[in-house]
Amino acid sequence: MKRSRFTFIIIIAAIAGFFSYRFIVRVTQFLKLSQTLPEYLRDMIGVKPHVSCSMRVPGKYELKIGLKKDILEREKDLKEVVENYIKDFYPELSTDRLEIKLYELPEKSDGKKEE
């Protein structure tokens, strides 16, 4: 009885350790992605975008990439470029759990009103 109980506890601890290890690996890769993605996109399109990263507890990750309107119109396949970058360099972050959203940055005004 004691031996089977000990074996059961070891199995539960191993399963918990495995899932916590996978979670930690995903979190660290997501943090690295949030640091390297803006530089990669700067090299690709010539402008450093505004990247906002958020993580939800059950394993959902969200990337919001903000660019000016003319750059969004010029770069039609930017979402595919980001997906391929993630698949190549961060394979633990599967794209089915990762949402990539592109949005337009508002134009900065000078404070002068147009008449």
Residue with tokens 């000016």: 68
**pTM, to two decimals:** 0.77
Segment 14-65, tens digit of pLDDT: 999 999 998 888 889 999 999 999 999 999 888 899 999 998 877 788 999 9
Segment 83-96, tens digit of pLDDT: 999 999 988 887 67
CA-only gyration radius of the chain, Å: 21
Q: What is the pLDDT of residue 115?
A: 41
Asked whether the beta carbons of 45 and 78 are under 8 A apart, the reply is yes
Please give the CATH topology (third level) of the domain spanning 2-104: GMP Synthetase; Chain A, domain 3 (3.30.300)
Burial 1-23 (b: 16+ CB within 10 A, else e): eeeeeeeeeeeeeeeeeeeeeee
CA distance 46 to 13: 49
- DSSP 8-state assignment for residue 47: S
